[in-house]
Amino acid sequence: MSKTIEKTALVWFRRDLRAHDHAALAHALAAFGRVYCAFIFDREILDGLETRADRRVEFILRSVEALDAALRSLGEGAGVAHAGLLVRHGFATEEIPRLAVDLGAQAVLCNRDYEPAALERDGRVAAALLRQGIAFGDFKDQVIFERDEVLSGSGQAYSVFTPYAKAWLKRLGDDDLRPHAVAARAARLAPLPAGERLPALDELGFTATNLGALDLPAGVEGGRRLLGDFLARIGAYQEARDFPARRGVSYLSVHLRFGTVSIRELVAAARAHDSAGARCWLNELIWREFYQMILWHHPHVLTRSFRPQYDAVRWDEAPALLEAWQEGRTGYPLVDAGMRQLAQSGYMHNRLRMVTASFLCKDLGLDWRLGERHFARLLNDYDLAANNGGWQWAASTGCDAQPWFRIFNPLTQSQRFDPEGRFIRRYLPELAAVPARHIHAPWLMDAGAQAAAGVRIGRDYPAPVVDHAQARQRTLARYGVVKGAD
């Protein structure tokens, strides 16, 4: 019997919930004769969630169920009965070493994560495994280029997106998009021990959400459905992507976050279509890797400004204004519609992420970290690097950020990107009967117009919590006194 056939590996799935084009799984099947697969509902993460009705947990569970079925199908197709996914609910730092020992594994393999907490967790797991004489290996999978793979000519990390994107595209080759082969060696998948089953949502300590009512299908098939739908209209992406009332974007962000789609598949699809829309979308995928690279090289952005001089910005403290922003009660319809979309669905259109973030920082004068934390609590697609990068861009504290003296006018943004108020009316039913000429600034309606629309400003819908023109002047003064602001 060959040494390969004698060896056993455990593949630890995390944010890569698919059984195809999977780097760690492919490496395990190539090098080991028996391969188990596991997923841990990690209490180190779950115990810190603020609500027991979290759409992300439900999405993950549905995707884990689909992954288990896919692994079983792969095994059956290769003559292996009862392959599948080992699922545990506990602390990953304890469960993975325990599983590896119990299964007689010589190695644990996984796909690399780049977030500081994940790196710390993986270090603890690797150390625990080493004490048992078990190897730990990780592989690049969730990005095309990681960490130090795209650097400037002087060997430095980029801090401006455009030259980074040019270097990224110049480096990109066919080999970077080649899928990791899994199916050909599926006969090496190991049967699950007797008695294994998947947990129910309530066994994890969570309750059902409205996920099923949203257009957010989970698992690989859900990702494929959304991708197919998007590719049919990708040519219009560049023109349609900024209008939240239109179906102009891919809606794949949550699938990218949990790895139910492969980044290689998405980049390959964008290249194959070769239209202005496809190139624009590819640029957004590159932004994702840019922010991952920034987090890796500049971990201080987790708590501080990328550009240190902006740590001197003196933010206001106004809990009532923060609450009004969080609940969609600012009196600015597009801002409020975006915030209510987030609360009701866990999703927010990217244009509205910029608008609402700018409003918090530059109209309300509140610390960007407050908004970053709120988005982190609610976004289905929450990604630390992208969320942090987006908030620091809006607050003008980040790398390649919007200049501090450029301040979104929420009224202009509303008129430009939701001209008929279709999106606003979808999430602000109290304004449903307000005519288009007033929908962006309903506070300007006189008493008769308000009566005709069935809404009284200040009672049924709030008056603006701040005057934008005055807030703009306060923001210019706030940033203008910062030494080194440019």
pLDDT in tens, 197-206: 999 999 999 9
Within 10 Å of residue 126's Cβ, how many Cβ atoms?
A: 18
Using pLDDT thresholds of 50, 70 and 90, give the confidence band for residue 486. Answer: confident
Asked whether residue 127 falls in the same domain as residue 228, the answer is: no
Predicted local confidence at residue 274, as pLDDT: 86
479 is in an annotated binding site: no
Is 288 a known ligand-binding residue?
Answer: yes
Question: Could you count the other beta carbons within 10 Å of the beta carbon of residue 377?
Answer: 14
Of 248, 276, 297, which closes a domain? 297
User: Predicted confidence band at 4 (pLDDT cuts at 50, 70, 90)?
Assistant: low
pTM of the complete model = 0.96
Of all helices (H) and strands (E), which one includes residue 40? strand 34-42
For 327, the domain range is 308-479
What is the pLDDT confidence band of residue 5, given thresholds at 50, 70 and 90?
Answer: low
Mean pLDDT of 383-397: 97
Tens of pLDDT along 35-85? Answer: 999 999 999 999 999 999 999 999 999 999 999 999 999 999 999 999 999
Residues annotated catalytic, as ranges: 284, 287, 315, 350, 368, 391
> Within this chain, do residues 449 and 325 fall inside the same structural domain, yes or no?
yes
Residue 131 contacts residue 101 (beta carbons within 8 Å): no
Report which of 71, 122, 65 is spatially closest to residue 97, judged by C-alpha positions. Answer: 122
CATH number of the domain where residue 265 is located: 1.25.40.80
381 is in an annotated binding site: yes
Question: 347 among the known binding-site residues?
Answer: no
Instruction: Answer yes or no: is 474 within a domain.
Output: yes
Query: Look-up: residue for tokens 């080493």?
Result: 130
Clarify whether residues 244 and 280 are in a common domain.
yes
Domain-embedded: residue 189:
no
Q: Is the pLDDT of residue 318 over 60?
A: yes
DSSP state of 437: T
* pLDDT for res 484: 73
Q: Angle 150-151-156 (CA atoms, 0-180°, nearest 5)?
A: 155
**Residue 372 annotated as part of some ligand binding site:** no
Q: Is residue 207 part of a domain?
A: no
**Across the strands, what pairs with 461?**
457
Report if residue 276 sits inside a domain: yes
Does the annotation list 439 as a binding residue? no
Of 389, 390, 386, which Cα lies nearest the Cα of 143?
Answer: 386
pLDDT band at 331; cut points 50, 70, 90: very high
**Segment 418-444, tens digit of pLDDT:** 999 999 999 999 999 999 999 999 999
Assess whether pLDDT exceeds 90 at residue 415.
yes
